[in-house]
Amino acid sequence: MTNDRSTETVDPYCLSDEAAVDLLSGTPWKRFAVMGDSFAAGVGGPCPGYADISWPERVAQALRGNVPDLAYLNTGEVGLRTRQVRQTQLAKVLEFGPDLVNVATGGNDLFGPNPDLDAVEADLEEIYAALTARGAHVFAFTVADIFEAFPDFAEFRALVDRLNGRIRGVAERHGATLVDMWEHPVRTSPTLMSADGIHFSMEGHAVLAGEIIRSLSTATPATAPGRSA
């Protein structure tokens, strides 16, 4: 696949600022938090034709278009594993009192011998349970299947697929919004990844933000506390 979308203004998977704000019109969230690893922190490289704005900032910007005084907290930190995210960030996020939270973690747990996905799932369960008990709506996203386009990392494909399964299960059990990027068409774009081969370029950030905003715009009243039907 070649990237014939050229810029985010014509990329069908991206949203204009106006469209993003319009999609989130009427949603109830006023306190937005992002927690996790480098994906939460918004790490990514430049990509010609795409603004140098990370996905968390794009989502916050769209929410702020409807709620100018939106409170926003991002505790994302590079290199953390899921247990470290739970131990070092959960209390801070709970103290912040969010009504909308993204949890982006798990990738770093795959490095090293014998990754313990049971432990990852258990930590995610604890994080989601604590957040939803306080009335927050949680959303998550799976890792894209980039391994055909970027075969140097093919050895991780099976592990990433298994991690995604754990994320899907926890999200379903806790009524979270899940943005499933595993089979998204952008996964084969040759400009999707940063130079480090691990993080999305700004193309990926723009597309991910668009899919998150679309998913949040259709969150049901049962999974979006306070939203009218």
User: What are the residue ranges spanned by the domains of the chain?
Assistant: 17-217
Find out whether 221 and 227 touch, Cβ atoms under 8 Å: yes
Q: How many CA atoms lie within 13 A of 125 on its CB side?
A: 9
pLDDT at 2: 39
pLDDT at 229: 34
Tokens linked to 152: 């140097």
Find out whether 142 and 164 touch, Cβ atoms under 8 Å: yes
- Residue 225, pLDDT above cutoff 50: no
Query: For the residues 136-142, what does the mean pLDDT come to?
Result: 98
CATH number for 17-217 (one of 3.30.1330.80, 3.40.50.1110, 1.10.3720.10, 3.10.20.90): it is 3.40.50.1110
Find out whether 105 and 90 touch, Cβ atoms under 8 Å: no
Which residues, at least 6 apart from 155, have a Cβ–Cβ distance to it below 8 Å? Answer: none
CB atoms near residue 74 (< 10 Å): 20
- Residue 132, pLDDT above cutoff 90: yes
pLDDT at 226: 42
Query: For the residues 93-115, what does the mean pLDDT come to?
Result: 96
- Which H or E element spans position 177? strand 177-179
- Residue 77, pLDDT above cutoff 90: yes
Q: pTM higher than 0.85 for the full model?
A: yes
State the DSSP code for 50: B
- Residue 222, pLDDT above cutoff 80: no
Distance CA(221)–CA(105), nearest Å, equals 26
